[in-house]
Amino acid sequence: MIEVENLTKSFGTKVAVNNLSFSVEKGEVLGFLGPNGAGKSTTMRMVTGFIPPTSGDARVCGISVVDQPSEAKKRVGYLPESAPLYNDMTVTGFLNFCASIRRLRGSAKKEAVERAIETCFLQSVARQSIDTLSKGYRHRTCLAQSLLHDPEVLILDEPTDGLDPNQKHEIRQLIRRLGETKTILFSTHILEEVEAACTRAVIVDRGVIVADGTPTELIEQSGTGSLTDLFRQVTTRDTAAPGEKKKSGKSRKKTAKAGA
């Protein structure tokens, strides 16, 4: 499971994540929603140990990412936003390379790569050069590397960004299936992902949680039956007029209290 306690990250005078606390249980798929710049990626980078928090802590399977980062990382599969790939490698070659980094050897390594290829439906392109792949297959290859060591926790940053509707559907179905046995936290700004893939969702705005609940609970909180309306109510739009921002701020307080 994932436990985030009072996590804060400042870059100079800018507070990107502000005293954030939440948890994700095994068998739960938590959608981490928010507008661009809300602090989603920064939070995930702290939870994975990629960057240190200014204050607070996160525990992965009970292990602190601050005090025992190496041990915590062993339990995590991470798909960063715009994950890098080596274009001159084949899909199988890349996954073998990543498995070696994870210190998998011999038959365990072979089985891990085969399992990841099968899970992410990469059989038809397994021997193909990465630079010849479509964006959907490249995305699946990035996801496959996060699964090689069969982690208990998956942290996925914008896993469907830029994919076509068919590819998005496939990735969402895969996330739901993986979520039956793992703890999954994935960020998105695509609201339809909540009903399609999540068992629960948190909406963050400017580094703080403004709504938390199951998809059904969040839709009910909107008052209109629309998750889009709730999102607009609880998040601040940079294009809003001053009066609109003030009204939005009142809605945020009301919704966060209701979701508590």
For residue 254, give its domain range. Answer: 2-75+151-259
* Total residues found in the chain within this entry: 260
Is residue 141 within 8 Å of residue 120, measured between CB atoms? Answer: yes
**pLDDT tens, residue by residue, 67-104:** 999 999 999 999 988 778 999 999 999 999 999 999 99
Q: Residue 62 has what pLDDT? A: 95
Residue 43, domain CATH = 3.40.50.300
Is residue 14 within 8 Å of residue 65, measured between CB atoms? Answer: no
Residues (pLDDT < 50) of the chain are: 239, 245-255, 257-260
Assess if residue 138 is contained within a domain: no
Assess if residue 8 is contained within a domain: yes
Instruction: Compute the distance between CA of residue 158 and CA of residue 40 in angstroms, rounded to an integer.
Output: 10
What total number of domains does the chain contain? 1
Give the amino acid at 224: T
Is residue 22 within 8 Å of residue 201, measured between CB atoms? Answer: no
Assess if residue 26 is contained within a domain: yes
**pLDDT tens, residue by residue, 9-28:** 999 999 999 999 999 999 99
Q: Residue 166 has what pLDDT? A: 87
Assess if residue 43 is contained within a domain: yes
Is residue 227 within 8 Å of residue 215, measured between CB atoms? Answer: yes
What's the angle, vertex CA 149, arms to CA 175 and CA 147, rounded to 5?
25
Instruction: Compute the distance between CA of residue 234 and CA of residue 248 in angstroms, rounded to an integer.
Output: 6
Assess if residue 46 is contained within a domain: yes
Assess if residue 120 is contained within a domain: no
Assess if residue 100 is contained within a domain: no
Assess if residue 137 is contained within a domain: no
DSSP, collapsed to helix, strand or coil, labels residue 90 as strand
Q: pTM of the entire structure?
A: 0.86
Dihedral Cα 189, 160, 24, 98, nearest 10 deg:
-140
